Structure 1
Amino acid sequence: MSPASPPGPGVDLVRLRAHLDGSRTGVAAGRRPHHASEKIDWPNQFWNGGMRMSKSLTDAMMERLMGIKWTNQAGYNAHAGSRSRLMVEYLRRASLWAEVLGGPPKWPIFDIAGALAPEIQVDPEVAERLEEFLVAHVGGISTENACRAAVRWATLQDTPGVRLPDLPDPFEPLIILYERGGEVIADESWAFTFAAVRVQIKPWREHLSAEPAVALDPATLDALDAAASGGRA
């Protein structure tokens, strides 16, 4: 079953958000929002060399979420170095998309696809399966919302004819963070804590930056963890 019904031929979210081309003055409007060496995480989207991929991004995201050990204290402590930087990178990317929208409907975790294209919905069977999984395995409301938003983002990418602004995938750092140690929930001071490292949630504009906080490749992330643990594997 298709993950979403096409909203019509040639839906162009770049044109839909045309104020990016002149009416905005922030990072997203002023210059290329990601570093020249930064890899965009979703170039192999719905089409691959003109052929439809055998597995949709929605299905792939569901598999990733269901493969995460959400309560993983050992992973939480072992990967604090990389997970803290991944959170900083998520906040940076989310702020870039928030700027596209003229401000986020919620912060720091929000439904970017829903704000960009509210007419594109996750397939009801997929949504039901996701909800059943969240009830059984995920504890925090903010984490549940992040999972919903990530699946809807994948559905938007799967929708034929959709063109997105040239910004990095907002949810990839967050999903990798979860994969490396389970969920993390902000405390009462509005900070995420990873072992001895705190990542403060600031107003979204203060997270805007054209420079990536961290590369997402496993070698870089493993090196951060090794450094944080004093070189112990």
Structure 2
Amino acid sequence: MTDNKINKEGRIGAANKQLILNAAEFEFAKHGFKGTRIQQVADRACLPKTNVLYYFKSKENLYLAVLQQILDEWNSVFDHATKEDDPAEVLAKYIAEKMEFSLTRPDASRIFALEIINGAPNLKGFYKENNVAWMEGRVEVVQYWIETGKIQTPNAYYLLYHIWACCQHYADFSAQITHLQGKQMGESEFEEATKAIISLVLKGCSLEIPEKYR
């Protein structure tokens, strides 16, 4: 087998896997883990069921792959924030990134929310260790900002929980928002909502809102 053929097959395989992951994300968000069938995923991806099983072996493996992709894509500027950074800039950008994810990847957010609501049974391996380590690192930075008077907030954990709750609400409860407002939120509404959350959070921490987010 030539190198060109190997590279071509590799590209096709990668493309097929991504098609399957995208289709699975939609189906798991709509039907949950138990209600989703491999055939549904295959039909949405326009691929044979055997292809799905070839790449992922089982529904459980496919679901774990979807969860891992979500966690990987949730990486943000906040992951690399340091004690020396400007908390207003870091928190504003973090909120904007979380809201962008809710706008562009609502299915991913809903899958993660359902997994957590059900006790995170499929995340106990890699999620607990990685997430706890991430949280400890971020709390250490925020706590330093608190202790040095850079921000005014009583608890670093609660600040982060509040940001998550506000931002992910726009994806996880979008049906409620659409019902209450009479229409689905578009990009302009998301931009307004993003600025509103940034204003609430930063003013609550006695921070000046960066010009870009006013």
Q: TM-score, normalised by structure 1?
A: 0.28
> Which gives a bigger RCO, structure 1 or 2 (Cα 8 Å, sep 6+)?
1
Q: TM-score, normalised by structure 2?
A: 0.29
User: Rg larger in 1 or in 2?
Assistant: 2
